[in-house]
Amino acid sequence: MQSRRLFNTTLMAALVSPCPLGAQGPMSLTAARRDEIHRLIRRQPGESRWMEIDWYPSVWEARQEAAREGKPIFLMAGSGGAPAAGC
Amino acid sequence: MTRAVTFWNDQTISLIKENFVAASVPTWLCRTDSPEGEFLRRANIHKQWVTSSGYMSCLSAGGSMLGKRPSVEVLEQFHSLPDAERQPPASQIPVLKAEQVVIPSPPQGGLVLRVHARFLAREANGQLRHATVTDFPLMADKPDVQRSWSKFLQPNTEYMWLTRDEWRALVPSDPRKGERRDVDAAIAERMARFHLTPQRATTSEGGITRRQSVKEARMALVVKENSAKHIHMELEGFIHWGSDYDASKATTPNGPLAQGYETPIHGWLEYDREKEKFTRFQIVAPGDVWGRWGDANGKSMYVERPGRNPFGFALELATGNSPSDRIPPGGNGHYVQATGYFPDSK
């Protein structure tokens, strides 16, 4: 519980200025502030540019599409289907 | 490094978008007993993809290996191939039977959310901002490390799946303004275990939180507006997994406190009653992470910071306009099939 109180206090501090929450508390984040934080977290132009590519989730689908289009296949492979989930 | 920032420039992006068909898959695919595994082994890819780290490979639809990174030289080699290698007939690449499919697709009629994860920092006045390499003391005075790790400070995106029954259960049958209903605990737990894990920013390995580590995962929906056409609902909740925060132990490097993450959940959902589908599903989790960020050997990673530090997630409805929206959660089909992602899986 002490941890929770500390968290709420910290979060309140984090969300102050330039859109102060006043006494609303973190569970009643204003719509404007919620949208602002959402935008802050999402990809900005020029970031994570690998996400500008359309990635097929399976080799077979990519193979079918490559055959249709007459294009080569580019595979990125990692522990979690790089680059969509890191290395 | 798969996400080397210098690789992903205008020239490379254009080259790939205009000339290649791209796929993003886990390395274990090449070792599966499946048509995809056999295809990759015939191209000897299994001899390249020997670990779980990132690899790049270019090949033709017929299975000819063309090289690693996409390049003009790879394209030239491709165009020198016989027609049958470049464009094999559709009969040679038939639609797979259900039992041959290794990479799972989103549930039939289900809902897909994009999950963006990002390191944040807090100004002295409390304002949240994007984290930069100078926010991480373990990178201080190490320009090569800062350059290498800067890519992980850009948001990483993966995908959360809900079944048709799950998302339909979020829609009240007789909505009344102010009505508050708990969200299925399985959805909150899924979000805590598989998606709201800051490790997602650096790797998918180890990016699953054990069920026993989830201390709290609750969400509720409140009807804010209701009309014949739309239902607008606010989502609120709280998630805590891992250790309890202890400032005296949240030290770095190699401090004694295990990792923990706590976040409020704020969301805004809009349901179109005529089209019978969600048209907005926006969630933000502006949480704090603390404790150890261990690498594969348990050594503190460069992104570990002392104290508690902001790390945020933003979820939004996937449009389905890109095949990327069908990449499995965590980029890895095993998460769905063998880890209890859905209540009826292991």
The residue extents of the domains of chain B are: 10-93, 111-338
Q: Are residues A51 and A29 in the same domain?
A: no
Chain A contact for B308 (CB, 8 A cutoff): yes
- Do A9 and A31 fall into the same domain? yes
The CA-atom distances, in angstroms, between B148 and each of A39, A48, B19, B156, B197 are 25, 14, 28, 16, 22
Q: By three-state DSSP, how is residue B143 classified?
A: helix
The structure tokens listed for B33 are 């007993």
Residue of B nearest to A18 (CA): B127
pLDDT at residue B204 in the model: 56
Q: A87 and A51, same structural domain?
A: yes
Per-residue pLDDT tens over the stretch B34-69: 999 999 999 999 999 987 777 999 999 999 999 999
The whole-angstrom distance between A52's CA and the closest CA on chain B is 7
Of B36, B86, B129, the CB nearest to A60: B36
- Write out chain A residues lying below 8 Å of B78, CB-based: 71-72
Residues A8-28, mean pLDDT to the nearest whole number: 39
- Give the pLDDT confidence score for residue A79 in this predicted structure: 66
Q: Considering the entire predicted model, what is its pTM? A: 0.90
Q: What is the mean pLDDT of chain A?
A: 72
- Among B108, B60, B67, smallest CA distance to B84 is for B60
Q: State phi, psi for B32 to the nearest 5 degrees.
A: -85, 155
Q: Is it the case that residue A4 has pLDDT exceeding 50?
A: no
How many structural domains are present in chain A? 2
Would you call A52 exposed, middle or buried from its count of C-beta atoms within 10 A (0-12, 13-18, 19+)?
Answer: middle
Question: Per-residue pLDDT averaged across A38-63, rounded?
Answer: 94
DSSP B294: B
Q: How far away is chain B from the Cα of A26, in angstroms, using its nearest Cα?
A: 7
What integer pLDDT is reported at residue B64 of this predicted model? 97
Q: Are B220 and B187 in contact (CB under 8 A)?
A: no
Each residue's pLDDT tens digit in chain B (346 positions)? 345 557 889 999 999 999 999 999 988 999 999 999 999 999 999 999 987 777 999 999 999 999 999 999 999 999 999 999 999 999 999 999 999 999 999 999 999 999 999 999 999 999 999 999 999 999 999 999 999 888 889 998 999 999 999 999 999 999 999 999 999 999 999 999 999 999 888 765 557 889 999 999 999 999 999 999 999 999 999 999 999 999 999 999 999 999 999 999 999 999 999 999 999 999 999 999 999 988 767 789 999 999 999 999 999 999 989 999 999 998 888 888 888 899 876 5
A vs B, Cβ pairs < 8 A, gives 319
What residues contact A5, with CB distance under 8 A and at least 6 apart? none
CB contact under 8 Å between B264 and A70, yes or no, is: no
Dihedral pair phi/psi, residue B159, rounded to 5°: -135, 140
A65 and A80 inside one domain: yes
Residues A35 and A51 in one domain: no
Percent of chain B with pLDDT over 90: 82
**Cβ–Cβ below 8 Å for B1 and A43:** no
Domain containing A14 equals 2-41
Q: Which residues of chain B are within 8 Å of residue A71 when distances are taken between CB atoms?
A: 19-21, 78
Nearest CA in chain A to B246: A3
Q: Does the pLDDT value for residue A13 go beyond 60? A: no
Which range (A5-9, A15-19, B151-155) has the least confidence? A15-19
B119 to chain A, minimum CA–CA distance in Å?
A: 8
* Residues of chain A contacting B79 with CB distance shorter than 8 Å: none
Residues A51 and A83 in one domain: yes
Q: What is the rounded average pLDDT of the residues A27-42?
A: 88
